[in-house]
Amino acid sequence: MTATSPAPAAVELVRVRKDFGSAVGVADVSLKIGQGEFLTLLGPSGCGKSTLLGMIAGFLTPTAGKIVVDGVDITDVEPYRRNIGMVFQSYALFPHMNVFDNIAFGLRMRKLPKAEVAGEVRRAIEMMKLGGFEERRVSQLSGGQQQRVALARAVVIRPKVLLLDEPLSALDKNLRAQMQVELSELHRKTGLTTIFVTHDQGEALSLSDRIVVMNRGEVQQVATPIELYRTPANGFVASFIGEINALPVARYERDGGEAALVLPGAGRLVAPAEGNFAHGAQVRAFLRPEHVRPALPGEDRPNIVSGVVAAHIYQGSHTITRVEVDGLGLIETRVTGADIVGTHPVGAPIALVLDLGDAVMLAANAGRIDA
């Protein structure tokens, strides 16, 4: 784990653990989140990301470990004294209050003078482009508007940290893309330290300063989106972020400046030599579909494998073609356009070039995919 925070820590988790009976919800997570950072907790459902968020908000008490915000240990502080804003997946807008009262709720709980409440709420309403909706009941709002009210309500109390629990998952696709832009703008304008929980890697990659990938209650990797995509720390991260082909475990052979992967039943593939694997190590290579392409007619170079087209998945701008390669199993290649559907119909033989120079090589034990 290469968790270097860019600024002094706003939130620090120290070996935080949560057990549910004998099951582990979150296992000894330590994290530092920088001031003003946008950090995403990413993982499949049940990975512990929401549990972690619940502990930061104070709805769940950690079994062990501590949570520090702005240098103060808040592990045993009750939720309503934490001053941590949160946007819920269901928004949890108060159905018996109008938009104004929803946004004002937190300020009133802080016993702010009336005029000040009105001023703050007005500013939040302006920032979230909710002008004219003050008197509306929340049930009369669209999904996107409800989302903005939830955000305004959480931001207006000037929280030390803003928690977002899958806030975009209830929106349809177009609205989601738009709200992503707005979230990003909101973060820039307010500069709030933000912890965002999602299972959608697209959202995570586009919004975050750093991403924490979690699985089965454990942190798999903490990295910037680009690092995460290019150099996943293990098989789980590699296969969770984007599409990837996992080649079978191979023997790494090094001979001077040359290196090769010896695959049982598939022969030798030339491998990049700059890896720090010892001669004879068991390794596993991961290769993105964009790094696999059909060979040109008569092309002659290393790392060409042959197989049979198993399926085409047409996706508009490109086509994902699945090829059954002897000894390697199913390999996906990503080809621009749809020509390949005509030139290589299902069942036709095809030769593929594997760009192993761009592959991620992991020691075989780290390459285990336990999604």
Partner 1 sequence: MTFASLRSFGFWSLVVAILTYMTLPTLVVLMTSVNPTEILAFPPEGVSFAWYEKALTYPDFRRAFTNGLIVTSLASTLAVVVGSAFAWLIHRYEFRGRGVLEAVLWSPLIIPHFTLGFGFLLLGGAFKLQQGYVMIVLAHMVLVMPFVTRAVYVSLATIDPNLARAAANLGASPFHVLTRIELPLVLPGMAGGWLIAAVLSLTEFTASLYVTGSRTQTLPVAMYNYIREYADPTVSAVSAMLIITTTLIMFIADRAFGLRRVLAIDTH
Nearer to partner 1 (CB atom), residue 107 or residue 186: 107
Report if residue 58 touches partner 1, rule: CB under 8 A.
yes
Report if residue 90 touches partner 1, rule: CB under 8 A.
yes
User: Is the four-CA dihedral 108, 93, 81, 85 of positive or negative sign?
Assistant: negative
Least distance (Å) from partner 1 to the CB of residue 26? 18
210-215 and 38-42: which strand pairing?
Answer: parallel
Nearer to partner 1 (CB atom), residue 84 or residue 130: 84
Least distance (Å) from partner 1 to the CB of residue 57? 6
Report if residue 61 touches partner 1, rule: CB under 8 A.
no
Where does this chain touch partner 1 (CB under 8 A) — which range of 27-35, 36-44, 91-99, 184-192? Answer: 91-99
Report if residue 294 touches partner 1, rule: CB under 8 A.
no
Where does this chain touch partner 1 (CB under 8 A) — which range of 8-16, 87-95, 167-175, 359-367? Answer: 87-95
**Which residue in the block uniquely carries the two structure tokens 């007619």?**
297
Q: Are 236 and 244 in contact (CB under 8 A)?
A: no
Distances (CA, A) of 294 to 196, 341, 351, 355: 39, 12, 6, 11
How many residues of this chain bind partner 1 (CB under 8 A)? 27
Q: Are 14 and 30 in contact (CB under 8 A)?
A: yes
List 20, 59, 123, 336, residue binding partner 1 (CB under 8 A): 59
Report if residue 85 touches partner 1, rule: CB under 8 A.
yes
Least distance (Å) from partner 1 to the CB of residue 161? 11
**Distance separating alpha carbons of residues 307 and 293, to the nearest angstrom:** 13
**Distance separating alpha carbons of residues 351 and 362, to the nearest angstrom:** 26
Report if residue 157 touches partner 1, rule: CB under 8 A.
yes
Distances (CA, A) of 17 to 39, 51, 232: 19, 10, 24
DSSP 362: E
Rounded to the nearest 5°, which phi and psi values hold at 195? -115, 120
Where does this chain touch partner 1 (CB under 8 A) — which range of 6-14, 28-36, 150-158, 210-218? Answer: 150-158
Q: Give the torsion through C-alpha atoms of 339, 345, 348, 352, to 10 deg.
A: 30
Nearer to partner 1 (CB atom), residue 153 or residue 284: 153
Report if residue 128 touches partner 1, rule: CB under 8 A.
no
**Distance separating alpha carbons of residues 121 and 127, to the nearest angstrom:** 10
Where does this chain touch partner 1 (CB under 8 A) — which range of 94-102, 181-189, 191-199, 207-215? Answer: 94-102
Using only C-alpha atoms, what is the Rg of the chain? 25
Report if residue 88 touches partner 1, rule: CB under 8 A.
yes
Which of 60, 38, 64 has the alpha carbon at shortest distance from 51? Answer: 60
Where does this chain touch partner 1 (CB under 8 A) — which range of 57-65, 66-74, 260-268, 342-350? Answer: 57-65
Nearer to partner 1 (CB atom), residue 122 or residue 334: 122
**Distance separating alpha carbons of residues 125 and 163, to the nearest angstrom:** 19
Strands lying side by side in the sheet with 72-73: 23-34, 9-20, 64-69, 72-73
Nearer to partner 1 (CB atom), residue 93 or residue 171: 93
List 72, 109, 311, 313, residue binding partner 1 (CB under 8 A): 109
List 9, 39, 55, 105, residue binding partner 1 (CB under 8 A): 105
Where does this chain touch partner 1 (CB under 8 A) — which range of 131-139, 152-160, 243-251, 361-369? Answer: 152-160
Report if residue 311 touches partner 1, rule: CB under 8 A.
no
Which of 176, 188, 11, 177 has the alpha carbon at shortest distance from 85? Answer: 11
- Binding positions for partner 1, rule: CB under 8 A: 57-59, 78-86, 88-90, 92-96, 105-106, 109-110, 153-154, 157
